[in-house]
């Protein structure tokens, strides 16, 4: 269900859209290593939530941008990450992805 709430019917988002939203939320530029499609990669994915709408009368309303903003807000609070992606000196968690340890 977590992924469903961030989808809208017939409103696909390109991967770079997600990356740009995450960059903006953390205030950092991602280091990208763009490669050709790898074995097992799929060129396109699409969430069809029509069954959810029909069976539960539920229409997702959270945009991808809103969902990512909420995730970034939660992540920063949980991992005590300051602006610019740097951990706060009082980091209490043992795990913090390397991308945020600059």
User: Is 56 in contact with 49 (CB distance < 8 Å)?
Assistant: no
Nearest to 8 by CA among 39, 44, 46, 54: 46
The verdict on residue 70 lying in a domain is yes
Cβ-contact 51, 5 below 8 angstroms: no
pLDDT, residue 102, reads 42
Task: Find the CATH number of the domain harbouring 90.
Answer: 3.90.25
pLDDT exceeds 90 at position 70? yes
**What pLDDT shows up at residue 86?**
62
- pLDDT score recorded for residue 85: 59
The answer as to whether 39 is a domain residue is no
User: Once rounded to an integer, what is the mean pLDDT over residues 35-63?
Assistant: 87
Say yes or no to pLDDT of 100 above 80: no
Residue 94's pLDDT is what? 45
Instruction: Find how far residue 21's CA is from the centre of its chain.
Output: 8
Range of the domain at 85: 4-33+44-100
- pLDDT band for 47, please (50, 70, 90 cuts): confident
Cα 11 from Cα 26, distance rounded (Å): 24
Q: pTM score, two decimals?
A: 0.64
Residue 99, pLDDT score: 44
Question: How many domains is the chain built from?
Answer: 1
Percentage of the chain with pLDDT > 70? Answer: 69
CA distances (Å), origin 94, targets 26, 39, 102: 20, 33, 16
Q: Determine the pLDDT at residue 32.
A: 92
In a domain, 38, yes or no: no
| In-domain check, residue 91 | yes
């Amino acid at each position: 269900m977590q992924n469903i709430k961030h989808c809208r019917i017939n409103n696909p988002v390109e991967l770079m859209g997600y990356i740009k939203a995450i960059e903006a939320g953390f205030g950092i530029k991602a280091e990208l290593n763009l490669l050709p499609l790898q074995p097992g990669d799929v060129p396109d994915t699409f969430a069809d939530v029509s069954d959810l709408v029909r069976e539960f009368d539920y229409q997702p309303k959270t945009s991808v941008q809103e969902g990512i903003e909420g995730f970034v807000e939660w992540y920063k609070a949980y991992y005590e990450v300051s602006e610019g992606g740097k951990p706060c000196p009082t980091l209490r968690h043992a795990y913090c992805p390397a991308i945020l340890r600059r």
